[in-house]
Structure 1
Amino acid sequence: MATNMDKDDAGTPAAAGGFAGLAQEMAAKSALVRKDNGHIDLLAAAGGVRGIAESVLPGLVFLVIFTVSRNLNWSLLASVAVALVFLVMRLVQRTPLTQALAGIAGVALSAVLAMTTGKAENYYLVGFLTNAGYIAAMVVSIAVRWPVLGLLFGYARNEGVRWRAKPERLRAYRVATWIIVAVMAARLAVQLPLYFTNNVDALGAMRLIMGVPLYALGLWVAWLLSRPVATEG
């Protein structure tokens, strides 16, 4: 006989199995690592030192050169060049290319948008769209009772997707996912007004400040608030 959890608002048993398979795939690709003290390894979650550099340096180089020279073309070329250097380094060292390829694709698309429009602020447009997409996906995951943070944290904690059968654990992971949604919404709330007022210097600075550091803080808070209580074993 099917239980309520077998057939809940996420759909049929087959659909639930599909979500579980997706969760396993996400966990396998995730950089989430739990340290010996039970806390999440934030450095690993952010992609390690190299991953942080790949995320931050292209934007930092663009901002510094544009602020100093006000030359859009030089700034864009330097940003793309930095992303290419990281890609070449991974090719030479034969390390996974996924993050570097995603980085060069994002930087290249951002550069094309800025160059074709002649507006430096459009260098950040792709980031806004990506951020909005993540927000939408996470809100949907909460609505269908498969919160993204549950899928990631559950496997890091060896819970798998068993947490879905426990209302208190499901609620905790929904709250955790809302925290990351809030982080991403805060980015848009602060940065979009700067984009629409063409304040490129402040926008670039906010992108750096509200990038990896704010994400890591949100992830840490979400981890702490969603941890199982001692009575759950």
Structure 2
Amino acid sequence: MTANGTDPDKSGPADIRPAPETGPAEQPAQEGEPGIAALAAGYAEKAGLQRNKHGHVDILKSAGGIQGIAESILPGLVFLVAFTITRELALSLVAALAAAALFTVARLVQRRPLTQALAGIAGVAISAWLANTTGKAEDFYVLGFYTNAAYIAGLLLSIVLKWPIAGLLFGFVRNEGLEWRKDPERLRAYNIATWVVIGVLALRLVVQLPLYLQGEAGLAALATMRLIMGAPLYILGLWVAWLLSRPAGRGPAK
């Protein structure tokens, strides 16, 4: 989970806004809320987290929807397939960039916000540059290690500072505002939820780094794990974090 509510292996925010929640649990942030509160409100709004008709977080939309997930998966998949068939690094990198560019064109045609697609193509471009510079195909995936490590550090810091990221996201989706920080049990629940996300990111590093260190011999397995442990694992982790952090005694809608 990133500062824009997306999977760190993805490169842009979801284009969904949180849906309002009704009921006695509503505690909207007060007007004029200064500093961190206002920042947190905007942070949660841009996260793309939304409740479905059953009262749960809509994890598919939170991951960017079908198109957003495709934008995060296909460029890497195209690169792997192209390199496996041709063994030509430059050609495979161009194919991956072309796949990312197609999503930008698609969003232009759909007149949808370009933020996610542009961030995605920028991420693919950086990955392509790294692989082309070193001449190692496996370096196409190395950027993900740095972003995962950076997010782990940020999430850990948020727990230490008693501003767990899960609370900033889920708290505003649930209309708790920042009131959850005054309740030790709610703070603890959001700490646990944030640890779940840290666990997802750490597991990626534990599994994928050894494959990366195998060089080209581990490329196929690395790419496969990147796909499996990308959006699917992120969605699962987000769902578990949501369930673990729901307020007690407020019914299944939380």
What is the TM-score of this pair, normalised by structure 1? Answer: 0.90
Partner of 2:219: 200
Q: How far apart, in 2, do the equivalents of 1:18 and 1:193 lie?
A: 42
Q: How far apart, in 2, do the equivalents of 1:209 and 1:231 lie?
A: 34
Partner of 2:135: 118
The correspondence of residues 1-233 of structure 1 with structure 2, limited to 5 A, is: 17-198=34-215, 199-230=218-249
Deviations 1:10-46 (A, max 9, x none): xxxxxx9422112111111111001122211111011
Ranges in structure 1 where 5+ consecutive residues have no aligned partner: 1-15
Q: How far apart, in 2, do the equivalents of 1:192 and 1:69 lie?
A: 25
Q: How far apart, in 2, do the equivalents of 1:78 and 1:42 lie?
A: 30
Tell me which amino acid in the other structure corresponds to 2:247: P
Deviations 1:39-76 (A, max 9, x none): 11111011011101111110111111112222211211
Q: How far apart, in 2, do the equivalents of 1:177 and 1:153 lie?
A: 11
Aligned length: 218
- List 4+ stretches of structure 1 deviating above 2 A: 91-94
Closer, same or farther in 2 for the Cα pair 1:110/1:231, shift >3 Å? closer
Q: Which one is further off, 93-102 or 171-180? A: 93-102
Q: How far apart, in 2, do the equivalents of 1:65 and 1:133 lie?
A: 30
**What secondary structure is seen at the aligned counterpart in 2 of 1:33?**
coil
Q: How far apart, in 1, do the equivalents of 2:113 and 2:156 lie?
A: 30
Q: How far apart, in 1, do the equivalents of 2:34 and 2:205 lie?
A: 34
Q: Which has the higher contact order (CA 8 A, sep 6+)?
A: 2
Q: Which one is further off, 66-75 or 167-176? A: 66-75
Ranges in structure 2 where 5+ consecutive residues have no aligned partner: 1-32
Alpha-carbon deviation of 1:174? 0.4
Tell me which amino acid in the other structure corresponds to 2:71: E
